[in-house]
Structure 1
Amino acid sequence: MRLLYLIMIIFFISLNLRPSITSVGPLLDVIQDNLGLSGVTSSLITALPIFCMGLFSLSSIWLQHRLGVERSLLVAMLLILLATFLRMFVHHTFFLLATALCSGVGIGIAGPLIAGFIKKYFPEKPGLTGLYSVSMVIGAAVASSFSVPLFQQMDSWQHALSFWSILAVPAVVLLLPLLQKREVPKEVPKKNLQISAFFIKNKRVHLFTLFFGCMAAIFYAITAWLAPIVQATGLDRSQSGMTLTLFTLVQIPVSFLIPLLVGKSGNRRMWLLLCGLSEFFGIILLMLHFSPWVAAIFLGMGAGGLFPLALLIPIEEAAHAEEATSWSAMMQFGGYLLGSLGPTLIGLSLDLFETSIPTLFLLAMIICTMIGVGLKIGNKTKKLNY
């Protein structure tokens, strides 16, 4: 029973880490028209949360030492709940960007802490990052799929975006029983509890960070701009939104299966390469104006595999929960700061060239860089129980 309870906590927390971002893409043209936003300003609705996800990921280390992983996760969920709910009252660009910033802070704190939570309660099961990533994809898919229907039903994009705050309620409720006591995992020696925040000196973490940054830049650029790019080819708002939904839905089974396949084969390098090539092929299809539906499938397969693999790396190689949180925080700190440039560069490119070809070429170059770094990271040497 306790196992199911802990799994539900991971599921509902992870479920909240994407809806405040992915719910924007399908309604971006409506928001632009209503608030009079340029491409660059519109991209900030997505870029700001990603930037904050990186900037505030380091605070998860401090919060875990001060409050414990459970209380820190509660703080993060309350921030996401508040920021998403307040979108109901948005009528100015500044307020919308403020909610984006606040949600990014909450997501930035929660991301590394989930890695620590998994390492603490499931030290021999790092493959549970599959549940972590699948839950995020489900949250992203639900938000991107139903934002347009909610907008049509409510006749308000503010209410449609605000609706997703409801997902944070069960996460908050489930965390409350864990706050009664704080435990230090028995397997962690006291001397290891003081974790330095400067793991960036580790050359492996340099590679993890660069890989995560390329992966995040591609993922969030596609999340923010796939629907508008596809819509420019002649599809209507509903159809272009469905291509984003397809991109997201494909990730669900892939995010679950890839960590299991990596665990069985032990060949992480091969799966990093295959997922990277899948994204590259999807971008090429968009450049050639081939079916956006087929392109979305290849993009979804690549993104669905790369994200759990990136999340899994620090959990696999860390010695205990505190180290897992610290390594994840450092990787996500630099990675999300780099990743936040993705949507902004896309918006700037579209403003400058008024065509998606230079934009897609830029994404293809980032994917090639990511593939090269992934090959450099290679395989883990320590055998783990999945």
Structure 2
Amino acid sequence: MRFIYLILVIFFLSLNLRPSITSVGPLLDVIQTDLGMNGVAASLITSLPVFCMGLFAIFSIRLNNRLGIEKSLLLAMVLIFIATLSRGFLMNSWLLIATSLFTGIGIGIAGPLISGFIKKYFPGKLSVTSVYSVSMVIGASIATSFTIPLFNLLNESWQIALSVWSILALIAALLVLPLLITEKAKNVMTTTSSLRITNKRVYLFMLFFGCMAAIFYSITAWLAPFVQSMGMSHTQSGLILTLFTIIQIPVSFSIPLLVAKTRSRKMWLLICSFSELIGLVLLMGHFSPWIATIFLGIGAGGLFPLALLIPIEEANSIEEVTSWSAQMQFGGFILGAIGPLLFGFTLDVFNSFTPALIVILMTIILMIVIILNMETKTKHDSMK
């Protein structure tokens, strides 16, 4: 029974890491028209949370040292709940941007802590990471798929449609609450995590995470416009994005299970990386975008849970897992947020998708080189 409860906690915590971001996209044109937002202001709604996911990942180390994992996660969920709920009462563009800022802070804090939570409660079960990764994909998918139906159901109120997703954070917060009582005595920290990286491999992991995130966000932002340039309709391009997301769900769930069974993380990292490489080459060659998207979805769906596994598998303690995760996500998400901007800049300069796709291609190749240079954990490897 306790096992099921803890899995539910991880599921709902992870479920909250994307809806406040992905729910905005389907209604962005409506929001822009209603609030009179220009393109720059509108882009902040989605770019700010991604930057915050990196910047405030480091803050999770401080919170973990001071409050412990359970209280810190509760604080993160409350922050996401309040910020998302407040969207139901907004009539100002800058207040909407402020909610994006605070949801990003909450997500940034929660992300690394969930890895520490898994290490604490499931120290010998790496496969539990699949719950973390697949829940994030499900959260992103349901928010993207159901925000428009909610908008239509709620008398075309985009404010209420966006605020509905706060329910997920409320459920997660309520699920965490019992742990504050049962784990109160255990939350006295005997060791602390440091912001200083003393294990040099963490820089390599951070660079890998950054390449992975840059590729993912670039594909997410620009896949639909690219296939439209190939002659596909808006409806078809929407289905391409849906396929890209749906493919990731079974892959995100199965990859950690396969790694736990085969004990070969590097092999699966390379398989997923080459899958993205194949998908991108197919796009550049103007082959079937449907087949290309399947390869891209397999790669994206596998790489993120594999990235989450790195600190859980390599670090030696709960505090170290949180610290490694925070520092990987700090640098990784900041680099990841730059990806779509660099793609867009290249597109503006050359007025062609080809040079921009070459940028992604080079990033994938760099990521493969990094993976090949990743060393396995040694007995005395540790980050204090």
Q: Tell whether the structures are fold-level matches, with TM greater than 0.5.
A: yes
**Residues 176 and 130 (structure 1 numbering): CA distance in 2 closer, same or farther, change over 3 Å?**
same
Mapped partners of 2:224, 2:27: distance in 1: 9
Q: Is the 8 A contact 1:25 1:223 kept in 2?
A: no
Q: Is the 8 A contact 1:20 1:164 kept in 2?
A: yes
Q: Which amino acid aligns with 1:24?
A: V
**Residues 281 and 244 (structure 1 numbering): CA distance in 2 closer, same or farther, change over 3 Å?**
same
Query: Secondary structure, in 3 states, of the residue corresponding to 1:340?
Result: helix
Hey, what does 1:272 align to over in structure 2? 269
| Farther off after superposition, 265-274 or 17-26 | 17-26
Q: Which amino acid aligns with 1:273?
A: L
Mapped partners of 2:110, 2:338: distance in 1: 21
Cα drift, residue 139 of structure 1: 0.7
Q: Is the 8 A contact 2:126 2:260 kept in 1?
A: no
Cα deviation 1:305-328 (Å, max 9, x = unaligned) = 100110100111111111111111
Hey, what does 2:3 align to over in structure 1? 3
User: Percent of counterpart pairs with the same letter?
Assistant: 62
Q: Is the 8 A contact 2:61 2:194 kept in 1?
A: no
Pair 1:339-2:336 in alignment: yes
Mapped partners of 1:29, 1:236: distance in 2: 18
Cα deviation 1:354-380 (Å, max 9, x = unaligned) = 543332222222111111111111545
Cα drift, residue 233 of structure 1: 4.2
Mapped partners of 1:239, 1:147: distance in 2: 19
Mapped partners of 1:355, 1:30: distance in 2: 28
Cα drift, residue 282 of structure 1: 1.9
Hey, what does 1:55 align to over in structure 2? 55
Mapped partners of 1:325, 1:233: distance in 2: 44
Number of residue-to-residue matches in the alignment: 376
Mapped partners of 2:151, 2:233: distance in 1: 15
Mapped partners of 1:298, 1:3: distance in 2: 34
Hey, what does 1:198 align to over in structure 2? 196
| Farther off after superposition, 360-369 or 154-163 | 154-163
Hey, what does 2:186 align to over in structure 1? 184
- Segments of 5+ residues of structure 1 without an aligned counterpart are none
Q: Is the 8 A contact 2:65 2:193 kept in 1?
A: no
Query: Secondary structure, in 3 states, of the residue corresponding to 1:319?
Result: coil
Pair 1:254-2:256 in alignment: no
- Segments of 5+ residues of structure 2 without an aligned counterpart are 380-384
Q: Is the 8 A contact 2:273 2:368 kept in 1?
A: yes
Q: Is the 8 A contact 1:53 1:333 kept in 2?
A: yes
Mapped partners of 1:358, 1:94: distance in 2: 35
Pair 1:221-2:218 in alignment: yes
Mapped partners of 1:373, 1:98: distance in 2: 36
**1:227-376 equivalence runs, <5 A:** 227-376=224-373
Structure 1 length-normalised TM: 0.89
Hey, what does 2:382 align to over in structure 1? none
**Residues 355 and 378 (structure 1 numbering): CA distance in 2 closer, same or farther, change over 3 Å?**
same
Cα drift, residue 68 of structure 1: 1.3
**Residues 93 and 298 (structure 1 numbering): CA distance in 2 closer, same or farther, change over 3 Å?**
farther
Cα drift, residue 302 of structure 1: 0.4
Mapped partners of 2:172, 2:13: distance in 1: 5
Q: Is the 8 A contact 1:54 1:334 kept in 2?
A: yes
Mapped partners of 2:224, 2:167: distance in 1: 25
Structure 2 length-normalised TM: 0.90
**Residues 380 and 228 (structure 1 numbering): CA distance in 2 closer, same or farther, change over 3 Å?**
same
Mapped partners of 1:273, 1:89: distance in 2: 47
Mapped partners of 1:31, 1:113: distance in 2: 33
**Residues 158 and 355 (structure 1 numbering): CA distance in 2 closer, same or farther, change over 3 Å?**
farther
Q: Which amino acid aligns with 1:184?
A: K
Cα drift, residue 156 of structure 1: 4.1
Mapped partners of 1:267, 1:203: distance in 2: 22
Which structure is higher in RCO with an 8 Å CA cutoff and minimum separation 6?
1
Root-mean-square deviation (CA, aligned residues, Å) is 2.4
Query: Secondary structure, in 3 states, of the residue corresponding to 2:186?
Result: coil
Mapped partners of 1:240, 1:152: distance in 2: 22
**Residues 342 and 91 (structure 1 numbering): CA distance in 2 closer, same or farther, change over 3 Å?**
farther
**Residues 229 and 94 (structure 1 numbering): CA distance in 2 closer, same or farther, change over 3 Å?**
farther
Pair 1:209-2:210 in alignment: no
**Residues 283 and 95 (structure 1 numbering): CA distance in 2 closer, same or farther, change over 3 Å?**
farther
| Farther off after superposition, 118-127 or 130-139 | 118-127
Cα drift, residue 172 of structure 1: 1.1
Q: Is the 8 A contact 1:210 1:335 kept in 2?
A: yes
